[in-house]
Structure 1
Amino acid sequence: MTTTPPPPLLRVRDLTVTFPGRRRGSAPVRAVDGIGFDVAAGETLGLVGESGCGKSTTGRTIVRLLEPTAGSVAFDGREIGRLPQRALKPLRRDLQMVFQDPHSSLNPRQTVARIISDPLLTQGGSAAAARKRAVELMELVGLIPEHIDRYPHEFSGGQAQRIGIARALATSPRLVVADEPVSALDVSVQAQIVNLMERLQRELGLAYLFIAHDLSVVKRVCDRVAVMYLGRIVEIGAKERVYTAPAHPYTRALLSAVPLPDPAAERSRERITLLGDPPSPAAPPPGCTFHPRCPKAQAVCRTEAPPLRVAVAGEPREVACHFPEAG
């Protein structure tokens, strides 16, 4: 007897986000171009790619800091992509975000107590209960509760990011969108924040959408990986398969740039260098958008956009490529 898997906590389908051109009459910019993925309860999905590929826009649209142009975003089976702001308020208890730059995402005029308490106060909680919860969260993320009445500038970058994480956890969310949560931090501090996020996931049963460009960090924390290029997902699958046998040429190029800890292996391995820069999302090339930089491009790549489809039969991995690598 087969059991039906539970529905995903987050379900994204054909999500598109388009911005108007900077100048009058200029072409609109399609920052996110019809992507789709699922995030299960307790899972971590990594969203990776070069700067400007649409990763952060995707995360901000999911939590409705940006409005989708088209497509569907469903949380726990409920369509939220078109909900009015008033209806979004109770949903924000379950769906929170951690931002890239900890200091710029914290109000410098507010104390840490107010910053962490604010989500609870917005949801109608009492000031006393919100402050008590803030003290608990300070301890949970490894900060000294006695510092709760200090201001953000009195904390280091790593401490400020812990405050941002505490704020995101104030309402006991089920899904946290983490937008480059360690990229603005020193390497030694990055490891501390990653360890903290992993511990919180185990203890609280959190699901993460982990947006990053550092593939080493993604390999450490994620269960599955989705690779974006110019607003589209070009490969998505289990971390082990994507890292050991990447099927898309872009994924292979990204992984070849990740430093190896073994100097001998680093010197002997093949480094894939992509030609040129990514095209403008305001004027994407026809066919496969990666074909101007792809070493395997053929005539069909210049005219037909490859759909995202199963790369290897029986394997839960999809790739958008006419000529994927055999895993």
Structure 2
Amino acid sequence: MLTVSDLQMRFKAVRAVDGVSFSVRPGETLGLVGESGCGKSTTARAIVRLLEPTGGSILFQGRDIAHARQRELRPLRRDLQMIFQDPYSSLNPRQTVGQIIANPLIVQGISGVTAKVGELLDMVGLIPEHADRYPHEFSGGQAQRIGIARALATRPKLVIADEPVSALDVSVQAQIVNLLEELQRELGLTYIFIAHDLSVVRRVSDRVAVMYLGRIVEIGDRHALYDSPAHPYTRALLSAVPVPDPKVERKRERIVLQGDPPSPAAPPPGCSFHPRCPQAKEICSVERPLLQVHRDREVACHFPLQPDDPSAGRPG
């Protein structure tokens, strides 16, 4: 359904996205994880063309939309929608909920707007009477449901969820995740699910892509990636996920990376992770590793971890 190749987003000297490539299959959920500032949200906004990519291609349903004109994108937006992180900042405070959800229907020339708005509200767990109220009258979880209803108004095929639960309380997060899973089953949706909560990503995703400093360093099946990470950064990232069992938590290895992430304005030569990598060798500071098939996934590392390597044991 979607193939991103060598995607680049630069803001003057800052390489926010630096050669990202991945594909998304119909009906699956691809999780996209990484530290804050690694380029996850910028990648999402470039895919839906809220930002103009500075390089690469975005093949959506067989058509390259990376540099398509806005009038060419309008019919494609019916099949490609986005759910934003902060529901309040993404909803127009001067419009009623009904107007907000109706906007994409009107733009796409879809008839029966009033009835469809009521159906969409019911679909996300709200009631038709909510259509006459304004966003500030709703809780965070309800506001995010409105954002989801707006994204689903045109019955899209691919939905990019950009940290849709990070601004919500933990109890509400579970409700929204359950809703997204139910909607995927009912409507046959395909998701790109962006989050920094690795536990949520593991639950909802079929495959997971790990980003570091604007690049994907590992991508593969969620079970294989979580149980036996091949990239040193993935292993360090997973070791930071808390485990509910106190006995397991006390015994497992916690990997603490030294130093801060490099600046995207001045990335290090070679592998961007090598200044913080405990396994870095001379080649890592000179030659940039490319994504290559390793075991059952793709890894951008000169010395990927092996399952029988003591240092590559399960991080918990």
Fold equivalence (TM over 0.5) = yes
Alignment of 1:158-173 (within 5 A): 158-173=141-156
Which contiguous aligned blocks of 4+ residues in structure 1 show a shift greater than 4 angstroms? none
| Deviations 1:44-77 (CA, angstroms, capped at 9, x unpaired) | 0000000000000000000000011110101111
AA matched with 1:117:
A
Cα distance in 1 for partners of 2:146, 2:290 equals 41
Segment of structure 1 superposing worse, 89-98 or 75-84: 75-84
CA–CA distance in structure 1, aligned partners of residues 115 and 229 of structure 2: 48
2:183 corresponding residue in structure 1: 200
Once residues 202 and 263 of structure 1 are traced to their aligned partners in structure 2, the CA distance between those partners, rounded to angstroms, is 35
For residue 14 of structure 1, what is the aligned residue in structure 2? Answer: 6
User: Matched residues in 1 for 2:132 and 2:53: separation?
Assistant: 38
Trace 1:44-59 onto structure 2 (pairs within 5 A).
44-59=29-44
SS at match of 2:132: coil
Q: Number of residue pairs matched?
A: 307
Stretches of structure 1 that go unaligned for 5 or more consecutive residues are 1-8, 21-27
The one-letter code matched in structure 2 to 1:110 is Q
Q: Residue type matched to 1:282 in 2?
A: A
The match for 1:117 is: 102
Matched letter for residue 242 of structure 1: L
In 2, Cα distance between equivalents of 1:124 and 1:134: 14
User: Structure 1: how far apart are the matches of 2:243 and 2:97?
Assistant: 39
Counterpart residue number, 2:208 = 225
Q: CA deviation at 1:239?
A: 0.3
Query: What is the aligned partner in structure 1 of residue 312 from structure 2?
Result: none
- Matched-pair identity in %: 73
State the alpha-carbon separation in 1 of the partners of residues 114 and 210 from structure 2. Answer: 40
Q: Distance in 2 between matches of 1:191 and 1:123?
A: 32
In the alignment, structure 1 residue 186 sits paired with structure 2 residue 142: no
How far off is 1:184 after superposition? 0.3
What TM-score results when the alignment is normalised by the length of structure 2? 0.96
Match of residue 78 from structure 1: 63
3-state SS of 1:220 partner: helix
User: 2: distance between equivalents of 1:145 and 1:130?
Assistant: 13
Trace 1:1-327 onto structure 2 (pairs within 5 A): 9-20=1-12, 28-126=13-111, 129-312=112-295, 315=296, 317-327=297-307
The alpha-carbon deviation at position 124 of structure 1 amounts to 2.1
Question: Partner amino acid for 2:106?
Answer: L
Whole-angstrom CA distance in 2 between matches of 1:221 and 1:181:
12
Amino acid at match of 2:97: V
What are the ranges of 5 or more consecutive residues in structure 2 without an aligned counterpart? 308-316
Q: TM-score, normalised by structure 1?
A: 0.93
Q: Deviations over 1:212-269 (max 9, x none)?
A: 1110000010000000000000000000110000000000011000011111001110
Residue 5 of structure 1 corresponds to which residue in structure 2? none
Alpha-carbon distance in 2 for matches of 1:236, 1:225: 6
Aligned to 1:289, the other structure's residue is in SS state coil
- CA shift, 1:325, in A, is 0.5
| Distance (whole Å) between structure 2 residues aligned to residue 41 and residue 125 of structure 1 | 24
Q: In 2, Cα distance between the equivalents of 1:137 and 1:237?
A: 34
Residue type of the alignment partner of 2:272: T
State how far apart, in whole Å, the 1-side matches of 2:89 and 2:269 are.
38
